[in-house]
Amino acid sequence: MIVESGTDELGVLIVDDDFRVAALHAGIVDAVRGFRVLDRAGSIAAARSALANHGSDIDLVLLDVYLPDGSGIDLVGELPCDTFIVGAETDAGAVRAAMRAGALAYMIKPFDDTELARRLAGYAQYRRVLAADVVDQHAVDSALSALRFGGRGSDRAETGSHTEQRILELFSESEGPLFADQVSSAVGVSPATARRHLAHLVSTGRLAMSLQYGTTGRPRQEYRLSG
């Protein structure tokens, strides 16, 4: 799958040989405001090809460890962009190797959908803080904290908008999870606006998201209150 960028969104490459996992992660990435999946790859060779095709448009790689033609950790050092290791390897030595190679995060599968959304929000905050030409120690500490804990601390204060309060009230009154089009209709905003607010509420931990797979087409994003 290839998507042209042409926006100010952060471009993401997903490298995983399990197409179902890749689709799951792609759905989460596309649901988080400010991110877009540019490509998916199922091997190291395919990842290198995707990087050559997209060049500097790729800002972040979600990289599995076990791939058909080698270890994803061995690829980290040659990547010209940031990397999150997203794999099932639990060996402590592998974690240290990934960190030494330059990975910004190490996420062990399986994890809740909301955790990846939270980490992506933190990465976006990390990028914003370090966009300045010169930074002080406070900025460095803030950027690294955002990577570790997500953007929840600073972003949570932004969720006080009238629309997002209405969305949260809708979920409080609902007997089950809702899709974005249901939220759009109930709150009276466009589907695109509803998705942006839902993605923000997921990234700040107010809502949780999961993907529902049908018989055809892309999976649908289903939302519910966290906890």
Q: Is the pLDDT of residue 155 over 70?
A: no
Task: Please report, to the nearest 10 degrees, the dihedral formed by the alpha carbons of residues 63, 79, 51, 95 taken in order.
Answer: 0
Catalogue all structural domains in the chain, each as residue range(s) with its CATH number.
Answer: 10-111 (3.40.50.2300), 155-225 (1.10.10.10)
For the beta sheet containing 178-179, the strands, ordered from the edge strand earlier in sequence to the opposite edge, are 178-179, 220-225, 207-212
Per-residue confidence band for 215, with pLDDT thresholds at 50, 70 and 90: low
Question: Contact at 8 Å (CB) between 59 and 12?
Answer: yes
To the nearest whole number, what is the mean pLDDT of the chain? 86
Per-residue confidence band for 196, with pLDDT thresholds at 50, 70 and 90: confident
Strands (E), 130-181: 178-179
Three-state SS at 102: coil
How confident is the model at residue 156, as a pLDDT?
40
Q: Is the pLDDT of residue 106 over 80?
A: yes
The single-letter code of the amino acid at 52 is: A
